[in-house]
Structure 1
Amino acid sequence: MTTYVMLINWTDQGIRTARDSAKRLDAAKKALGDMGGSFKNFFLTMGDYDMVAICEAPDDAVMARFTLQLATAGNVRTRTLKAFPEAAYREIIGSLG
């Protein structure tokens, strides 16, 4: 599984219906689960982003499909970062020669 960091902001529509946000999170978790992925952590945050999620998905195409599905609902905008675990980081750094 590949790990992804999702940086999430509510849209104007999303913040107007913030009371429904927990239900939307549950639906998002189910949708990603149905695609073979999962949410590992979820945080409400202060600062440049309203929320941050750590997710896993089988591949980039699944994560792209999931984020596009979220976007079409109109409640959030996301920025998704592919994350390399420490072992991969060490391998990449070690290959620099």
Structure 2
Amino acid sequence: MATYCVLGSFTEQGVRGAKDSPKRAEAFKEMAKKCGVTVKEVYWAQGQYDVVTILEASDDLAVTSLALSAGALGNIRTQTLRLFSAGDMKAIIEKMA
């Protein structure tokens, strides 16, 4: 399974409904299951991003499907980062030219 970090920023609509954010996080977890993605952690943050989510999925397609589905609801804009473990990085380095 690959690991991903999704950084989320509330839209104006999302800020207006900020009180519903914990409920939306639970709905996001259900949506993730339907996309074949496991939500490992959800954090609310200060600064440039309002929400940080750690996900696991078998491929980029599943995570992209989830990000588009969540974004289509209009409450959040996302940026997705593929994360690599130390073991992954060792394998990457071994393949370097």
Q: Is 1:42 the equivalent of 2:53?
A: no
Distance in 2 (alpha carbons) for counterparts of 1:91 and 1:57: 19
Q: Is 1:51 the equivalent of 2:51?
A: yes
Distance in 2 (alpha carbons) for counterparts of 1:34 and 1:47: 30
Q: What runs of 5+ residues in structure 1 fail to find an aligned partner?
A: none
Distance in 2 (alpha carbons) for counterparts of 1:29 and 1:86: 27
Q: Tell me which stretches of 4 or more aligned residues in structure 1 moved more than 4 Å.
A: none
Q: What runs of 5+ residues in structure 2 fail to find an aligned partner?
A: none
- Give me the TM-score of the superposition, normalised by structure 2: 0.92
Shift of 1:88: 0.8
- Give me the TM-score of the superposition, normalised by structure 1: 0.92
Identity %: 37
* Structure 2 counterpart of 1:93: 93
Q: Which residue type is aligned with residue 94 of structure 1?
A: E
Shift of 1:96: 2.6
